[in-house]
Amino acid sequence: MPASKPTHVLIIGYVWPEPRSSAAGGHMMQIIESFLQQGWQITFSSPAGIGEHKADLAVLGIDEVTIELNNSSFDTFITELAPDIVLFDRFMMEEQFGWRVEKHCPQALRVLETSDLQSLRDARQQQLKARLKQNTEQDDFSSLFAPAQRETFEQMADADLAQREIAAIYRSDLNLMISEYEIDLLIEQFHVPKALLHWCPLMVDSVPAEFVPYEQRQHFLSIGNFRHAPNWDAVLWMKTHIWPLIRQQLPTAQLHVYGAYTPPKATALHNPAQGFHVLNWAEDALEVMSNARICMAPLRFGAGIKGKIADAMLCGTPNVTTPVGAEGMHGDLPWAGAIEQSASAIAAAAVELYQNSESWHQAQRHGQALLEARYLQSEHGPALVQRIEACRAGLEQHRRNNFTGAMLRHHQHKSTQYMSQWIEAKNRPSTV
């Protein structure tokens, strides 16, 4: 008998993946690896420009195709490709291309990689801005970190961004969610059917048994893409409030701040006399993390789960963060460091972990246990593939059960389609 045709996956990327620049890029590569392990054929496409830290997809046997927004050339491309599965990287790609996929490849399973709930992150950012507008010298942000789930829904529900994002989730056959907190929020408050959601956190191949010893480590470290607004806000909070408190107790302490795409406003914070070093992009993030004694992640807003914190656990480096930083990451297990809600408490916890070898090693062991329990690729990769295959096998009934999604596709995609076609017609050279 002839060999069966391999499953063909088309990924439509918001950007080309940069696993060494962002957690989103790392997660995309982990998903790709799970597909490759099944022998699936992958085509990666994106309308974005090429970033300087782009992953080499070709070396993995992945076809790379540049596509255009609002251009019917995509219709020809996807018709000829005829993928079995289409994965949209973030909801904006589902908005742009979802109706074209449905029109030309109606039997292709449509999967949305949410990365995180951007509408949740945006609502929290607006809250923080309002709070800081009232008083920029506030130390304690506990009221922002622990709202009831219903209160969070109320903050999100009226926003255009939330309505667009939740609509894209309903229109998709399956949505990959990185955070259990966000799954609960979608089910309990937005009434998204559980059948549309799949928990797919960050993944690690294995958990190291040995790390660089405590005695050989030095300095505090912060790392994150500066284009990501929560990271920039965290750096500012460290510079203005947290780091001065740490230096009062540890006058010779050094903080090394690494980040891809460092803007001038960040390099302007570089001040060796204060022990505050802005060092641009780290060529090997895991190496610098492995040699640091403490990872600082004082995030005042954000969503999803945090790649920098997962990397810290992978390197045996205790972290100090906020409830937003730890959200969705540890379930009922002990945290790999400290979770605090004010600048003074964050500074105190950081100093304690830095100086106390016993506390430091306990936090390290907690990180190992967390990775083993929640983040192994050997568990989440096959689970993802199994869930996709189950959806494909019962796709007709799966879609029939999602009447809200069908209704939204009927109406919303008409408006999206006509807007896209209008833009394409507008962009054509005049024949007059």
Say which range, 166-170, 201-205, 425-429, has the weakest mean pLDDT: 425-429
pLDDT tens figures, 10-37: 999 999 999 888 888 899 999 999 999 9
Secondary structure string (H, E, C) spanning 286-342: HHHHHHCCEEEECCCCCCCCCHHHHHHHHCCCCEEECHHHHCCCCCCCCCCEEECCE
Which overall architecture, per CATH, does domain 8-119+150-203+378-427 show?
3-Layer(aba) Sandwich (3.40)
pTM attached to this predicted model: 0.92
Please tell me the distance from the alpha carbon of residue 415 to that of residue 98, in angstroms, as a whole number: 12
Q: Do domains 8-119+150-203+378-427 and 214-375 have the same CATH topology?
A: yes
Measured in degrees and rounded to the nearest 5, phi and psi for residue 320 equal -120, 125
CATH no. of 214-375? 3.40.50.2000
Measured in degrees and rounded to the nearest 5, phi and psi for residue 413 equal -70, -25
Please tell me the distance from the alpha carbon of residue 56 to that of residue 62, in angstroms, as a whole number: 9
Contacts of 385 (CB under 8 A, 6+ apart): 34, 35, 38
Please tell me the distance from the alpha carbon of residue 126 to that of residue 71, in angstroms, as a whole number: 34
Q: Specify which residues 338 forms β-bridges with.
A: 320
408 CB burial (10 A radius; 0-12, 13-18, 19+): middle
Secondary structure string (H, E, C) spanning 47-93: CCCCCCCCCCCHHHCCEEEECCCCCCHHHHHHHHHCCCEEEEECHHH
pLDDT at res. 99: 94
pLDDT at res. 430: 63
Instruction: Answer whether 93's CB lies under 8 Å from 12's CB.
Output: yes
pLDDT at res. 23: 85
- The domain ranges of the chain are 8-119+150-203+378-427, 214-375
